Amino acid sequence: MNILVSGGAGYIGSVMTRQLLNVGHTVNVYDNLSTGHADSVDPRAVLVKGDLSDQNKLAAELRNHHTDAVMHFAGVISMAESMENPGKYFQINTGNSRNLLEAMREEHVGFIIFSSTAGVYGDPEKLPIPEDHPYRPTNPYGESKLMVEQILAWYDRIFDMKYLSLRYFNAAGASLDGKLGEQHPDETHLIPLAIKSARDNTPLTLFGDDYPTPDGTCVRDYIHVEDLCRAHLLALDSLANNKKSAIYNVGTGTGHSNKEVLSEIERVSGKKINVHTAKRRPGDASELVADASKIKNELGWKPEYSDLDTIVKTAWDFHQSHQPSHALR
C-alpha cells in the first residue's frame, strides 16, 4: 500500500515509517520539520516538507503518490503547554486534522489511522481504563484529540471514511538499534529529561509528590515505541481487510510511578538523579493505566519490549549516542 505518514520525521512517526517500509509498504512522509528531523526519515521514504494547514498541498501529495491510507501522527503533545496556550492545540491538533480529512475526502482516500491519547479519559473512575470509559479530559491537549475522534466518527458516517483511533498511553523508549528516539526541541517527557539529568548531573523537576498513589507520584502505563508502531501495522491490516472503524487503547496494563521510573534510570545509568519536587502541573491525571484487552483480542497485538528495563535501556543508549541534542536542554 502507499501510505502517507503525517509527522513522519518525528519520534513515533520515524519508527513507524521504517516499520512500514520493512514490510513492503511505500511511504510518503509529510512533515513541516518544526519539531521533526529530516535525518530521522528512512532514506527509502519520500520526504515532503509541508504543513497540514495547507490543504491544497496535502491534496496534491495524496494524489501524486496515489495514497491508499494515512497514518496521522503530526500534532502538538504537551499537556502542560495546552493549559497555557489552548488555542494552539485546537488549531494544530483539531483544525489541521480537519484539513487532512478534507484533503483525503477530495482525493478519495478512505482509510486513516489516528494517533490519539489516553488523555481523553481524564482522571479515571476505574483502572485499568477500558475504551468505553467516560470522556472527561483534564486539559486542552486531551480535548483536542477527542474532538478529532468525534470528527472522524462523522466522516465515517457521512463519507464512509474508515478509521482506527489508537489511544496511546505513554510512548517511551527508542528503536532497538539505537538510531531513532525522542528528540523534542522542548522536551516535557519524564524519561528523556531524567536521562539528561543523570548524564549531565543537572537538576530534574518532579511535579507533585502528593497524588493519591502508593508513593505520591503520578502513575503511567509506558509502551515501547516499537510495540506501539507494531500496533499500527496490525491496525492498517485490519482497516484494509475489514473496512471497519474502531477505537483501541494501546498500553500494557501495568503502571509505573514517576519515582519507579527515576529509580530504573539510576540503575541503568549508574548515576544519581538530583530531584527537586515542585507543585503539581495543572491538568495532570493521577493514574493512567490501559485495559488493552480489546486490541489484543481483536488484532492479536501484544507488547514485546515494554518492560521498564528495555524502555529505559533503549532510551539511555539512544541519548548516549546522540549527544549533544537540542532536545535535551
Q: What is the mean pLDDT of residues 222-245?
A: 98
Render pLDDT for 248-277 as a digit per residue (tens, 0 to 9).
999 999 999 999 999 999 999 999 999 999
The total number of structural domains in the chain stands at 1
Render pLDDT for 8-42 as a digit per residue (tens, 0 to 9).
999 999 999 999 999 999 999 999 999 999 999 99
Cβ contacts of residue 8 below 8 Å, gap of 6+? 14, 16, 17, 27, 29, 30, 31, 36, 41, 45, 47, 71, 73
- The verdict on residue 125 lying in a domain is yes
Render pLDDT for 35-77 as a digit per residue (tens, 0 to 9).
999 999 999 999 999 999 999 999 999 999 999 999 999 999 9
Of 11, 30, 121, 141, the catalytic one is 141
pLDDT value at residue 188: 86
pLDDT value at residue 323: 64
- The verdict on residue 323 lying in a domain is no
Known catalytic residue at 141: yes
- For residue 165, the domain's CATH number is 3.40.50.720
- The verdict on residue 234 lying in a domain is yes
Domain holding 122, by residue range, is 2-172+222-250
C-alpha cell at 306: 515494554
Q: What is the mean pLDDT of residues 122-127?
A: 92
- The verdict on residue 228 lying in a domain is yes
- The verdict on residue 184 lying in a domain is no
Over the chain, what is the mean pLDDT? Answer: 95
pLDDT value at residue 184: 82
